Homo-oligomer: A and B are copies of this chain.
Amino acid sequence: MSILIVGSTALDSIKTPTAENPRLLGGSASHASVAASFFSPVSLVGVVGEDFPKKYLQLYKSHKIDLAGLQILPGKTFHWAGEYEVNMNNRRTLLTELGVFETFNPTLPEAYRNLPYVLLANIAPALQHHVLDQMKKPKFVVADTMDLWLNIAMPDLLKLIKRVDGFVLNDSEASQLTQTDNVFAALKKIHKLGPKYVIIKKGSHGSILSGPTGIFICPAYPLGNVKDPTGAGDSFVGGMMGYLAKSKGSIDANIRAAMVHGSVTASFCCEGFGLTRTTKVKPADIQKRVKELEKMTRF
């Protein structure tokens, strides 16, 4: 089945201690959509400016991402620039130019409103609400977020959390939201805010799901060399939703395998700048790493 993905569609300029890569295709919706596309058809909702390179539209198309919901507006594409420290764990934002995103207020194509799977990738909670308002009867809705929205849009975010089936955030965001450093205590507190499924991402330590079938400890694929972690969280949730959308059976029956497939997709994301490595991935590459992770976690 098909997924609707809304989020940022951006140009990312990424600096690491060893390299500098200007104006790569980035944004939460770009990473999530490419990741999901390995498993299911994707309908993208986003906005770019007239400066958006044609090759990136081509890249979306080569992943069979439906672009009827991607607006191209007069003005500049959202541009983010950031720099990673030597250990690749800390990054600082050098520049944020919202461009056409500042006034983005999408009206969904009619065909999008019936899509069963909805991923509200990281973007302002007000926009996530706006898109969700237009959906008719989605089967499964997941929202991702970032620290920025905890800092400047908490009321909107809390209302959004109530409306979704699944909520995804990283460990430092979970700690900020719940005022506890303990992941398992945080999961319990977040369930009380509404969602049936809560996933806390822990970067190279994997992720933890809390849901109706209990806790799932999802491993990260071992990487000896991380080139650029930008978008890894988006790839994770995109891959997960793509896998869920293609799977038969209940969410509970599939969500663990979905997370592992998302985790593997995110591992490829980390091995190249922007989407450069992810876009070269073949389905067999994903299957190989999933099998390896299965071996690495069995006892």
Query: Which residues does A use to contact B, with CB under 8 Å?
Result: 86-89, 181-185, 188, 202, 204-206, 208, 214-219, 222-226, 256-257, 259-260, 293-299
Q: Check B217 against A297 for contact (C-beta < 8 Å).
A: yes
Known: A202-B205, A205-B205, A215-B296. A184 touches B257 (CB 8 A): no
State A102–B271 Cα separation when bound (angstroms).
Answer: 49
Which of B218, B223, B299 touches A256 (beta carbons < 8 Å)? B299
Query: How far is the CB of A148 from the nearest CB of chain B, in Å?
Result: 23
Cα of A234 to Cα of B295 in the assembled complex, Å = 27
In the bound complex, CA of A202 to CA of B183 (Å): 14
Q: Give the docked Cα–Cα distance between A208 and B202 (Å).
A: 15
Among B89, B218, B224, B294, point to the contact of A184 (Cβ < 8 A). Answer: B224
- Evaluate contact between A184 and B299: CB separation under 8 angstroms: no
A185–B224 touching, CB < 8 Å: yes
- Name the B residues within 8 Å of A183 (CB-CB): 204, 222
| Chain B residue contacts of A216, Cβ below 8 A | 296-297, 299
Tell me, in angstroms, the Cα distance from A218 to B205 when the chains sit together: 11
Across-interface contacts of A184 in B (CB, < 8 A) = 222-224
